């Protein structure tokens, strides 16, 4: 038997091998469909082993989740009992973050960001201090969002969610700090997009879409050249609209050509955008509707192990109405 990495495991929809734990106990048989619930259970097994079987199976990576796979989440997700201890983003934290961002002037040029870069570092550190101790609490995604009317609410929401996913994936502290800062700055390139586009953006307008897509290039250049931050942080701005199947922008990157940090922020960014735009663009009524939509999109857009971790973290059976978050 050979040691099996979780990353290799998550690439399969039907197992071409049997999976065992370090005691030699059979966990999954070759030929079984690897549903999200099964994958989540195996994620926390310390060491996995595989034993190859001579099976003629379709091992395509490009799959959607079928109804029975989504049902697997519904059956296995424990009911979340909400208490005050479940609330990660509390009123005190929201007040602190709003106070930090109140120091920012209107950002119109890269120099404006550079002169106030300390604000983003302060916000990152405050978010990390609040979120890191809460990783083992039972939470719902709907309870950790800043209200949309707050300044920089989208960036804060994406940063909070990205930190939680990165912690679930057991990334190093230095990586989590880069992800948090990159998430706060992922849309910074929009300061150079005409206000007429950003405030009245129509995704069905080809000119609007082509101009808006420039924010990824612009953001990368601001972070790397003007702010002189790390390549990892800059790549988040550049790649957060890339998709696993290569259908994203700006370069149409796919698979592992997209950095892990960018993949994490992408999942969280899509979730928050779905929440914000649910009423106008999608027939989505609850957090559960959004998570189901993301699972249906599956590996076309997202890396499976990151998507599974996010859905598990967010609580799939969260039926809270979107107009209440």
Predicted pLDDT at 215? 96
Global confidence as pTM = 0.74
Predicted pLDDT at 83? 37
Predicted pLDDT at 141? 63
Predicted pLDDT at 137? 62
Predicted pLDDT at 193? 93
Predicted pLDDT at 191? 93
Map out the domains of the chain as residue ranges: 2-60, 84-324
Phi/psi at 324 (5° precision): -110, 10
Residues ≥6 apart with Cβ < 8 Å to 8: none
Length of the chain counted residue by residue: 325
CA pair distance 141, 121, nearest whole angstrom: 24
Gyration radius of the chain's alpha carbons: 20
Phi/psi at 52 (5° precision): -65, 140
Options 3.30.2000.10, 3.90.1150.10, 1.10.530.10, 1.10.3210.10; CATH for 84-324 is 1.10.3210.10
Segment-wise mean pLDDT, segments of 10 residues, the chain, 325 residues: 80 79 82 72 77 47 49 50 45 79 84 92 91 66 62 88 91 96 96 90 88 96 95 97 95 94 96 76 76 88 90 71 63
Distance of CA 130 to the CA centre of its chain: 19
CA pair distance 161, 117, nearest whole angstrom: 22
Predicted pLDDT at 59? 38
Residue for token digits 């969002």? 145
Q: Lay out the sheet containing 2-4: strands in order across.
A: 2-4, 48-52, 17-21, 26-28
Query: In degrees to the nearest 10, what's the CA dihedral of 48, 52, 53, 58?
Result: 90
- Cis omega before residue 76 (within 30°)? no
The H or E element that residue 179 is part of is helix 173-185
Q: Inter-axis angle of helices 260-281 and 287-297, to 10 degrees?
A: 120
**Dihedral sign for Cα atoms in the order 274, 275, 278, 284:** positive
């Amino acid at each position: 038997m050979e040691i099996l990495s979780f990353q290799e495991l998550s690439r399969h929809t039907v197992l071409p091998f049997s999976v065992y734990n370090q005691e030699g106990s059979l966990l999954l048989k070759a030929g079984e469909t690897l549903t999200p619930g099964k994958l989540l259970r195996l994620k926390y097994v310390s060491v996995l082993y595989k034993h190859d079987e001579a099976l003629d199976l379709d091992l395509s990576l490009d799959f959607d989740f079928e109804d029975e796979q989504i049902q697997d989440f519904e059956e296995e997700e424990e009911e979340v009992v909400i208490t005050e201890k479940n609330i990660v983003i509390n009123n005190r934290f929201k007040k602190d973050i709003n106070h930090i961002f109140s120091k920012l002037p209107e950002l119109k040029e890269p120099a404006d960001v550079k002169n106030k870069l300390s604000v983003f570092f302060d916000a990152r550190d405050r978010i990390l201090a609040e979120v890191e101790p809460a990783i083992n609490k039972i939470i719902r995604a709907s309870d950790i969002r800043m209200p949309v009317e707050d300044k920089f609410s989208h960036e804060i929401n994406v940063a909070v969610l990205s930190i939680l996913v990165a912690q679930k994936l057991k990334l190093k502290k230095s990586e989590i700090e880069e992800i948090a800062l990159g998430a706060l700055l992922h849309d910074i390139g929009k300061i150079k997009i005409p206000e007429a586009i950003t405030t009245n953006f129509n995704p069905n307008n080809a000119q609007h879409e082509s101009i808006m897509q420039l924010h990824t290039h612009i953001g990368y250049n601001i972070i790397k050249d003007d702010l002189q931050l790390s390549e990892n942080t800059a790549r988040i701005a550049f790649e957060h609209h890339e998709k696993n199947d290569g259908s994203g922008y700006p370069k149409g990157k796919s698979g592992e050509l997209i950095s892990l940090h960018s993949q994490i922020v992408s999942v969280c960014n899509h979730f928050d955008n779905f929440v914000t735009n649910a009423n106008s663009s999608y027939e989505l009524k609850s957090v559960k509707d959004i998570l189901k939509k993301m699972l249906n999109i599956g590996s076309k857009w997202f890396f499976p192990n990151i998507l599974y971790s996010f859905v598990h973290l967010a609580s799939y059976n969260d039926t809270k109405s979107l107009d209440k978050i």
